[in-house]
Amino acid sequence: MGLLQFPKIYSLIAVRLVLGGIILLTLRFFRIQVRNKLGRQVEAFFVILSALQFHLLFYCSRPLPNTLALGLVNIGYGFWMKGKFYLALNSLIFATLVVRCDILLLLAPLGVELLLTKSISLLQALKYCVGAALLCVGLTTLVDTIMWRRFLWPEFEVFWFNSVLNRSSEWGTHPIHWYFTSALPRMLLIAYPLSMLGVLLDRRLLFYVIPVYSFILLYSKLPHKELRFIIGSVPMFNLAAAVTASRIYNNRKKSFWKLLFLAMVGSFLVSLGCTVLTFLASYENYPSGYALKYLHKSGHLAKDTEEQWVHIDTFSAMNGISRFCEDDNLFRYSKEEGILLEDFSRRNFTYLISEHAAVGGYKCLFSVKGFSRISLQNRSPPVTLVKVPKVFVHGNLNYRDIFDRSWPGCF
């Protein structure tokens, strides 16, 4: 993209399209094994439930280690259902040692289950997995030592920082039950109760669900929790929910099951509505990205040869601005942290993108609204998104050229 002189944002779009396609292909691999093992009807409900969920598809194209691990976990699930247990273990070993060390919390319960059920033997597991583990450690250490210019095994450092030192809690904590009472209900929607019912209806699911529940239980002991940490559990929960949905559909002509079927269809519609609302809220959740885009369009000074420095505060950097959004032709960017508000007047920034509505030495040029909350009302539509100013763009009062043009102003 750089050689073709495209804006950097096109690189991000290309990466996300490729990554999203790869993750969907791994989901397809798992879906095919669901069809082979449980039939086309369960497969169909698996697809429907997955399509009704916002977070699974949202994370499919996000360039995060969790997303890369999701693809490997999907492959592992597929081999698991296919009965190729050593390949399943090796997929999770690669994910653990190279991409995301917390997959160990899924790998360990699965390995124990396979040993207890005599699906694998300990000697064979050592034969197939130890060599793969050593190869993975060697590969990731070699590549990252070259890239970071120091001896480095990245996932070991992550494990030490997050788990041993428990430093991840510096980014916030949640109660031990948060994954079960907040994250999973929001991610799975109707699939959450259906998945729990599925275990009762089809005992075969215990073999697949117990390691995934164990994964979340073990992860719950870590104080710092994020929804994306357990995104790899969603496909397996959707499988359990699809089995329940298929059973309800097959018995829909019986009196009691008919009520369940109607409730399930209604819940599907509610889940769809929740996903639409979440999508709309997410679309409005990155106000600083829109702010930088407008600034690039309107913020050029009369003297185009003069560099224009844009300071991006921490809030803005977390809500829509990445390096892919930058325009390096005339703008330079600073993400320096720890600058006091009163100190900005002594700094020579041309523009500020900030969460603060007023900064000394600067004038607010425009603001961008972002999602605040969902509001219910007595007219159509009954549900609306409330947006409030979230990000403010300020111009340095020493640069008079800035104020010779028309700006929307701050409201």
Residue closest to 261 by CA, chosen among 45, 50, 102: 45
**Cα–Cα distance for residue pair 227/107, rounded to 1 Å:** 19
Position 121 pLDDT exceeds 70: yes
Quote the tokens at residue 378: 């007595």
Q: What is the pLDDT of residue 91?
A: 97
Which tens digit of pLDDT belongs to each residue from 132-169? 999 999 999 999 999 999 999 999 999 999 888 888 88
The interaxial angle of helices 255-283 and 234-250, nearest 10 deg, is 150
Which tens digit of pLDDT belongs to each residue from 329-350? 788 999 999 899 999 999 889 9
Position 299 pLDDT exceeds 90: no
What's the average model confidence in pLDDT over 238-259? 94
What's the average model confidence in pLDDT over 245-271? 94
What's the average model confidence in pLDDT over 23-43? 96
Confidence of residue 172 (pLDDT cuts 50, 70, 90): confident
What's the average model confidence in pLDDT over 75-103? 96
- Quick check: bond before 63 cis, omega within 30? no
Mean pLDDT rounded to a whole number for the chain: 92
The rounded percent of the chain whose pLDDT value lies above 70 is 98
What's the average model confidence in pLDDT over 174-189? 96
Position 94 pLDDT exceeds 90: yes
Lowest-confidence region among 8-12, 27-31, 173-177: 8-12
Confidence of residue 3 (pLDDT cuts 50, 70, 90): confident
Which tens digit of pLDDT belongs to each residue from 190-247? 999 999 999 888 888 999 999 999 999 999 999 999 999 999 999 999 999 999 999 9
Do strands 383-396 and 308-312 pair parallel, antiparallel, or not at all (unpaired)?
unpaired
Cα within 13 Å of Cα(280), Cβ side? 14
CB of 184 within 8 A of CB of 234?
no
pTM of the model: 0.90
Confidence of residue 302 (pLDDT cuts 50, 70, 90): low
Position 306 pLDDT exceeds 80: no
Q: What is the pLDDT of residue 295?
A: 92
Q: What is the pLDDT of residue 86?
A: 96
Confidence of residue 379 (pLDDT cuts 50, 70, 90): confident
- CA-to-CA separations, 94 to 53, 101, 132, in angstroms, rounded: 27, 9, 8
Place of tokens 């804006």: 7
Q: Please give the radius of gyration of the chain, using alpha carbons only, rounded to the nearest integer.
A: 25
What's the average model confidence in pLDDT over 93-100? 96
Q: Which long-range contacts (CB under 8 A, 24 or more apart) does 301-306 make?
A: 301/350, 301/399, 301/401, 301/402, 302/401, 302/404, 303/401, 304/330
Quote the tokens at residue 195: 């998945």
- CA-to-CA separations, 74 to 30, 60, 302, in angstroms, rounded: 6, 12, 54
What's the average model confidence in pLDDT over 383-406? 90
Which range of 86-100, 151-165, 279-293, 382-396 scores highest in mean pLDDT? It is 86-100
- CA-to-CA separations, 395 to 107, 165, 214, 329, in angstroms, rounded: 52, 42, 53, 19
